[in-house]
Amino acid sequence: MGKKLVAILTNNHDDIYCFRKELIEALIDNDYDVLISCPYGEKFELMEGIDYLYDNPEIDRRGTSVIKDGKLMRHYYNLFKKYRPDIVLTYTAKPNVYGGMAAHRLNIPVINNLTGVGSVKNEKGMKKDFILRLFKHAYTKSACVMFQNETNMKDALERGLVKGDYMLLPGSGVNTQRYPLQEYPAGGDGIHGDPVVFNYIGRILADKGVEDYIAAAKRIKKKYPATEFNLLGFIEPTEQHYEQDLANLAKRGVVYYLGSQKHVIPFITRSHATIHPSMYGEGMSNVLLETASSGRPIITTNNPGCRETVVKNKTGFIYEGGNVDELCAYIERFLRMDNRDRQKMGLLGRKHVRKNFSRDIVIDAYLTKIKEILG
């Protein structure tokens, strides 16, 4: 008998390299062949030396074109007919839905990984109902649905989106060896001494709280000139106005946009904390797990997928999402801390994620579930 083939579907090269690489390597080590279907991006250059089949689909990640989405579903259907995978693992919204439905038509078992209903919560009326029906059609037939936080799991169950097997994971987990403890930088009080550096790492998108981060930076810089606020991540095609906005802010020394980076560790290393102002929550914020693993404190919202990564007031601070006043208050509290106490906060954060969010937990769960499904 030949090796069993596992197909992995997602919408972004970051997702493959940053969050699935160790799973892919573990599947290969356990004698599976792997097919990756994901639009090509530069992070695939970092996957050299790993033996996998590759498919390059066209995915309009945030678009609502029925024609484009129909083409994507046909693409997955033809891909599965060609390669006949034994099981399909799906991540992110459109691969979850259209890849899942295509696999169901061919009686191929599916494991969906859900990060919640995301921006669908903001939709109304017929559009929201249609999207939720799509989710239900895709997920109720799956062999297993994996959730990244308890809130999203309860929400999906209450909505009847899942009927079969499901389980809770600690997000995508974090590879604490890839994100080792970094030496903590010197820092003052935001007025005197070495500058205190804050990072936002993620897509430049209003839903991610970029506007709140910028608003907080404007206020804090007036009172604490020895601070630095950075933004790292790619600007969504629908948010191109940020290019000029951020260029203007950089000229004024308020916020510096550093673009999308292949390697974020050097930027985490020179920072004192990460601010993650997510407006509606995450599955489980990988940025926060990676930051904590590197020994950096976190300031984030009380939304699902963010709050779980923090031991409140010990490894970071949690504020009400959308409340810029509260965000500024916590930034000021952080600036008033002795730098050695900031460092201790970061050390406790690394201890927290090593115990509760190791990527090994996620990999073991997938390997066990795949073996169970395939018999």
Percent of all residues in the chain with a pLDDT value above 70, rounded to a whole number:
97
Phi, psi of 354 (to 5 degrees): -60, -40
Residue 238 has a pLDDT of 84
Of the pLDDT bands very low, low, confident and very high (cuts 50, 70, 90), residue 118 is low
For position 231, what pLDDT does the model report? 97
Chain segment 217-227, per-residue pLDDT in tens: 999 999 999 99
Q: Residue 54: phi, psi to the nearest 5?
A: -130, 140
pLDDT greater than 70 at residue 123: no
For residue 60, what pLDDT is reported?
A: 87
Lowest-confidence region among 136-140, 144-148, 308-312, 356-360:
136-140
For 70-79, the pLDDT digits (tens) are: 999 999 999 9
Q: Quick one: pLDDT band at residue 281, thresholds 50, 70, 90?
A: confident
Mean pLDDT across the chain? 94
Confidence of residue 211 (pLDDT cuts 50, 70, 90): very high
pLDDT given at position 236: 84
User: Cβ contacts of residue 146 below 8 Å, gap of 6+?
Assistant: 111, 112, 113, 114, 166, 167, 168, 169, 365, 369
Nearest to 304 by CA among 107, 43, 88, 121: 121
Q: What is the mean pLDDT of residues 153-158?
A: 91
Query: Residue 116: its pLDDT value, please?
Result: 62
Half-sphere exposure of 76 (CA within 13 A, CB side): 33
- Buried b vs exposed e over 97-115: b needs ≥16 C-beta within 10 Å? bbbbbbbbeeebbbbbbbb
Res 134: pLDDT = 87
Nearest to 239 by CA among 203, 212, 264, 287: 203
Domains along the sequence of the chain with CATH: 4-173+358-374 (3.40.50.2000), 196-356 (3.40.50.2000)
